[in-house]
Amino acid sequence: MRLQIGLAAVVALSVTATGVIASEEWDMPMAYSDSNFHTQNGKTFAQCVSTATGGDIKITVHGGGSLFKGGEIKRAVQTGQVQIGERLLSSHQNEKPIYGIDSVPFLATSFEASEKLSKAVRPTIVETLAEEGLHYLYSVPWPPQGFYFNKEVNSVSDMKGIKFRSYNSATARLAELTGMVPTQIEAAEISQAFATGVVESMISSGATGYDRKLWEHVSNFYAVDGWLPRNTIMVNMEAWEDLEDEQRNAITACSEMAAQLGLYRSIQYTDFTLKGLADGGMDVGVANDDLVGELKEIGAKMTEEWLEAAGEEGKAVVDAFLED
């Protein structure tokens, strides 16, 4: 008799549990083209979550800015229009300077350094995002940044007056300090902006130039390895808190997997896409030492400006990163 009661209790409990674990369908806007490794990685993450939760949480990835454009994604997640999304966090540096730490020129210039900086800043970013109603899941670096020009460029003076595509306030500032004229344009709109002559130059990864077939518009790529900006995947805090512990654990495990896989994909994509630019007909090389020297001076000025904006909090992270 006692045993029967026990069994009944177990059954009731699992029914209740099944009742509580409602199935969720989440939309995940991403700003970059479907073929891009970030988007592919987001799809792997979504698949992992679906598998790990036995299909209870289904995430639909919307690539190429098709659901929300890059600039709208953070807000869409914050306001609960979607539950999850990916954003280049440095584009929100004007809201919170700490978000721009990965775009400080010449601070972290390799994949290894990018990972180290990301680890050092993570607690601060987690906290800052939480204050904004967002839960941090993981971030993935873009390949190192280099310049695209439609002519040979050997010094900063060669850049004067060039119409430059920026993607965050750091790239706009870099343009100003090199005498170029910046216009902020999302990656999804790059091809059109170059085709119509709105811009004629940019700094980005080989990956984005390859995705957008930049060889149709420009002739030269100069590797500078200025920095490696990162895309961050974040969840609306209420949606996150509404989940069961087991579901959060499953998503956290998939996030860790996706972070590692994304890093690997980014490294792989670096040489592949630089070769792709060359195959497309571009002159792909490394910026000369004089030019790099001039850019580093500008970088030092921008580092100072960023440290001033980011205050004690930013300085503590940079110090920890440099000491490690």
Question: At 297, which helix (H) or strand (E)?
Answer: helix 289-323
Provide, rounded to whole angstroms, the least separation between the CB of residue 189 and ligand PCA.
10
Assess contact for 166 and 175: CB atoms under 8 A: yes
Considering only the stretches 104-112, 152-160, 205-213, 217-225, report the one whose residues sit in contact with ligand PCA under the rule CB under 6 A.
205-213
Considering only the stretches 22-30, 201-209, 213-221, 303-311, report the one whose residues sit in contact with ligand PCA under the rule CB under 6 A.
201-209
Supply the DSSP string of 131-171, one letter for each residue. HTTEEEEEEEEPPPPEEEESS---SGGGGTT-EEEESSHHH
88 binds ligand PCA (CB under 6 A): yes
Q: Which of 187, 259, 274, 302 binds ligand PCA (CB under 6 A)?
A: 187
Which residue number, 61 or 187, has a Cβ lying nearer to ligand PCA? 187
Which residue number, 133 or 280, has a Cβ lying nearer to ligand PCA? 280
Distance (Å, whole) CA 284 – CA 209: 12
205 binds ligand PCA (CB under 6 A): yes
Beta bridge partners of 197: none
Provide, rounded to whole angstroms, the least separation between the CB of residue 176 and ligand PCA.
18
Dihedral over Cα of 292, 294, 295, 300: its sign: positive
Which residue number, 27 or 86, has a Cβ lying nearer to ligand PCA? 86
**Token output for 32:** 């970059």
Q: Which of 136, 138, 142, 321 binds ligand PCA (CB under 6 A)?
A: 142
167 binds ligand PCA (CB under 6 A): yes
Number of residues that bind ligand PCA (CB under 6 A): 9
**Token output for 56:** 């209870």
State the residue number with the nearest CB to ligand PCA: 205
Q: Which of 139, 204, 270, 273 binds ligand PCA (CB under 6 A)?
A: 204
Beta bridge partners of 27: 60
Distance (Å, whole) CA 143 – CA 148: 14
Provide, rounded to whole angstroms, the least separation between the CB of residue 207 and ligand PCA.
6
Distance (Å, whole) CA 186 – CA 224: 21
147 binds ligand PCA (CB under 6 A): no
Q: How many CB atoms lie within 10 A of CB 255?
A: 19
Nearest to 183 by CA among 172, 170, 173, 194: 172
Which residue number, 53 or 208, has a Cβ lying nearer to ligand PCA? 208
Considering only the stretches 18-26, 155-163, 176-184, 203-211, report the one whose residues sit in contact with ligand PCA under the rule CB under 6 A.
203-211
**What's the burial of 278, exposed, middle or buried (CB within 10 Å: 0-12/13-18/19+)?**
middle
Provide, rounded to whole angstroms, the least separation between the CB of residue 59 and ligand PCA.
22
Nearest to 240 by CA among 61, 26, 95, 17: 26
Q: Which of 42, 229, 262, 276 binds ligand PCA (CB under 6 A)?
A: 229
Which residue number, 65 or 236, has a Cβ lying nearer to ligand PCA? 65
- What type of residue sits at position 309? A
37 binds ligand PCA (CB under 6 A): no
Which residues contact residue 241 at a Cβ distance below 8 angstroms, ignoring those fewer than 6 apart?
none
Considering only the stretches 4-12, 45-53, 204-212, 301-309, report the one whose residues sit in contact with ligand PCA under the rule CB under 6 A.
204-212
Q: Which residues bind ligand PCA (CB under 6 A)?
A: 88, 142, 167, 187, 204-205, 207-208, 229
